[in-house]
Each structure stands twice: as C-alpha cells, then as structure tokens.
Amino acid sequence: MKTGFRHIALVGKHRSPEIAQPLIELAEFLERRGVEVSIDPMTAEHVTDHRRDVLTLEQIGKRADLAIVIGGDGTMLNIARTLAPFDVPLAGVNVGRLGFLTDVSIDTMFDTVGAMLDGQYMVEPRMLVTAAILRGDQRIVEMNAFNEVAINKGPDGALIELEVRIDRQFVYNLRADGLIVASPTGSTAYALSAGGPILHPSLSVLALVPVCPHTLSNRPIVISGNSTLEILVLSADDAGAHFDSHSHHQLHEGDRIEVKRCANLIRVLHPLNHDYYHMLREKLNWSEAPGH
C-alpha cells in the first residue's frame, strides 16, 4: 500500500467545463501543500492555463499516489475501473446529484482534502466484478465493472430467456426484461431501482436481481463473492450486456456470460467522520428521527 500523497492526479467530469474553476483551485491548494499535481487529457480540454503535467490514466496509475475525482459517481466508476490494476486510492468530490461514491462536498473540499494530506482519513476497500462474453470457443470481450453487469432485452420489447448457474450448479431459467449482477457498490444503483437489496460495501458478495421477471417468484438472491456465475442466453432478440452502463455489447443466442469477483480492489478514501448509514438516510430520504 502506498503511503504519503506526494503526487496527486485530478480527474474531472467529462465534458463539464464547470469543473474547471474548482479543479484549478484545488490544484493550487495542493501545490501550496507541496504536492505535485497532474491532470488527465480529457480534463485538460476544459481547464485552460492549468500549467500542470497532462498524464494518461495509465501514467497516472503508475505515478500518482492518489487520484481525486471531481464530478459524480459516473465519473468515479469510469476512473475506478481503469485505475484498479494500479492500486491507486481514490477520493471523490461530489458535484453531481446523489454522490454515493463521491462523498466529499465541494463546499468543504479544502478542509477535507487537507485533513487527508495530514493522514486523517479512512480507507474502504471495495470489490469489482469481471465478466467475459463467450461465443462458442471465442472470448468476445472481458471487462471489469464497479457497479454491475446487466443483461437486458432489446428495443423490440420481447422478453429474454436465460439459464443461470452458480459454481456449475443449475439455479433457474429466467424469462424477464433482464438480469442484473451487482457488486455491493452497485447495490445502490440500477439494482436498487429493480428491487434489489442494499449491500454494505465491505461485503464480498454478488446480488442477482431479475428485471421485471415473468414469474413473480423469481426474487433477488445474494451469493458469495467467491462464486462464479454463468449465464447462458437461451432466447433473445437484440439483447445486450452492459458494464456499469458505459460499455455495451450485443448478445446472441447461445452466448455465455461468466461473472466473478475481480482480483483487484478499489480503495476509496473517506473523511474520518464518514458514516455509511447516515449517507443512506440522506441520499434515500429515510427518516432522520430515531425510533422510541
């Protein structure tokens, strides 16, 4: 595990020129603290006169001690998948809407980041999933996802039929609009809107959440993170596999999708006062008053 934040990379929300000013202000704050600062090429397009090294994400992975993402959870998802093999910790400054991952408020950004530079932070390891699409003897694609791997019906509206196996054991045939395989991080994203359970991010588990199943008894289930999930496409018209809603691949009948825990972890840094359950109450508008 890397110690000391001597080089920090700043990554901004894509195509969002409004992040330029807070990013420059944060860069200047870090430099006053003696930290080397770099930014990624896409961020550099919207931040003029930044006077800092522009590094690819791979270069950031090799050189940076910390990456601070300024944007929303979608930005964090993209960066996390890319930087996971390099074991670079991430912190997120929220300028989006929900902010389950980017929990540093832009209003308190300097105080919180300053405290992190002083060693006042907590580290939360989070798992990713890796999925492969196999077509006959060919491995069509293999990709990591931080939130979920989702298999969905095509635009014609016909249900898809899937055969689901866990560790080679048959579980069920599912006719539905789709199936979501969510990590604990993704349990508060697409899977939550489909009726899936909320999973604490420290868990090493996967949630299987059917989307509008034809048989209402097909309910979400939670399985061990050590399991290997195999999904066979039995019937589908123009179905697709989606990785964190950012990468999409068309599926054919007979395709197999294998999903398992990724060998890499993401280390997310939080302020010392981070409270997961308070965040859930705030983001999901749960009652603030304790019961009596």
- Taking every pair of Cα atoms in the chain, the longest distance, rounded to a whole number of angstroms, is 60
Rounded CA-CA distance 216/219 in Å is: 7
161: tokens are 């039929």
- Note whether 217 and 162 are within 8 A (CB): no
CA–CA separation, 121 vs 272, rounded Å? 5
Q: Residue 137: exposed, middle, or buried by beta-carbon count in 10 A (0-12, 13-18, 19+)?
A: exposed
Task: Point out which residues pair with 70 in neighbouring strands.
Answer: 12, 93
CA 179/CA 160 separation, integer angstroms: 10
Angle between helix 20-32 and 109-117 (nearest 10) = 30
Residue 73 appears among annotated catalytic residues? yes
- C-alpha 113/C-alpha 36 separation (Å) is 14
Catalytic choice (40, 73, 244, 255): 73
Q: Could you give the residue numbers annotated as active site?
A: 73
